[in-house]
Amino acid sequence: YIWNGFDAQADTVWVDFSANELGSLTKLAITDNGTGIDYEKLALKFHPFYDSEKAIAIATPKHTSAMHGKNGVGRLTFFTFAGQAKWRSVAAQNNTLVRTDIAITAEGLNTYIADLHTQVSDTTTGTRVSFQELSLSQQDLEQTVIPFLIQEFCWFLELHKEQQYQIIINGTPLVYDSNI
């Protein structure tokens, strides 16, 4: 999900989570300030399962990094840790901003529900994906996911330090210096 944000030309990706008193996650959301999801291309991005226009576009050089979502399954892998994912994406369309709300359940990965909103109060583009029915714990995030993020993104963030690319977790920038 973070790579999807950077692939969409975001310079900042936020990961926000909270847990209950037993340590189970009650909230997990990933937000970026990228270009958003084009409603006209939803069929390419969300169906059919295991296909992606990024696989075709990967041969084209990009201004930031090679596209990372190339197998067409990344956006749907939430089924391994959540029962449902909801996207709220704002994109530019015909010189105006439009919002698309998308919902998918783990039981129906090939079926999505999407609503287009042409009257929006949003002022910038970007995408937020939130997950419901989580099976992750705060300990999973802190001991496994965040160290993985440091390993996965340290080189990318370092190469784009001048452009101030960053991943912010619960309000704190991801510190990756120890991995450089």
pLDDT score of 67 more than 70: no
69 and 127 Cβ atoms separated by less than 8 Å: no
Residue 77: which residues within 8 A CB-CB, separation 6 or more? none
Alpha helices for 25-177 (secondary structure H): 42-46, 53-57, 138-140, 146-159
178 beta partners: none
What is the average pLDDT value for the chain, to the nearest integer?
A: 86
Section 83-98 average pLDDT? 94
Residues in the chain: 180
* 50-64, 104-118, 164-178: least confidently modelled range: 50-64
- pTM given for the model: 0.85
